[in-house]
Amino acid sequence: MQRVLEPEVMDTVEDAATYDAMDHSAVNDLFIARLKALGVAGLCLDIGCGPGHIPLQLVTECPEVDVVALDLSKNMLLVALEHQKKCANGEQVEFVHADAKGLGSDDHSFDSVFSNSILHHIPEPIDFLREAWRVLKPGGMLLIRDLFRPDSEERARELVAMYAGEESQHAQDLFYDSLCAALRPDELDALAKEIGIRNYKIITDSDRHMSLQIKAKTY
């Protein structure tokens, strides 16, 4: 199946509310567990934080970290700010309106850099990956997780039925479009090589998720 692009920014009120209402808890728990296993620490950057579920969960479970969490969708950030008010360690997350393709941060300024499910939103994702690599400190932890594109439209619809069958029709449509817009593991690997990312692994995490990851070095 060829990649079919979707809108880069989920910036309508309906999109933000729909995405926030979907049950991401199981996937987010696995993402947080992987962050811990890879050695998340220090000053972290979450690129494409959406409604803020992951950074707020991270500072709750790992209160020793601080997170700069950015998104290009203002409506997503408005939802995130409401969640932040209810989080005991919410002050350890700074939500920022910014573009993943041009972060504006200094080189090597973050101990840990991570992102969950925005790669497929970006038409030319090499720009995002290059920025994530640029701002990561040498020896730092990197985790870029995303959906991967199924072999066929039929398989994409099967995945929607399995994992979003009880969600609203709008939520199901968003999930289907995301699957069709995602990369394949070999495409992600090729981009990482082109950028010059070192010491990474490409992991197939599930029947719909893949990750590019680097474990933090310990000295």
In DSSP terms, 45 is beta-bridged to 68, 113
> CA–CA distance from 69 to each of 43, 180, 196 (Å)?
11, 26, 25
| Torsion region of 213: left, alpha or beta (phi above 0 gives left; psi -120 to 50 gives alpha) | beta
Tens-place pLDDT, residues 57-83: 999 999 999 999 999 999 999 999 999
Task: Give the class (CATH, top level) of 13-214.
Answer: alpha beta
| Residue 219 in this model has a pLDDT that exceeds 70 | no
Tens-place pLDDT, residues 96-115: 999 999 998 999 999 999 99
Tens-place pLDDT, residues 159-204: 999 999 999 999 999 999 999 999 999 999 999 999 999 999 999 9
Other Cβ atoms within 10 Å of 171 Cβ, number: 18
**Which runs of E-coded beta strand occur in 9-167?**
43-47, 66-71, 93-97, 110-116, 136-147
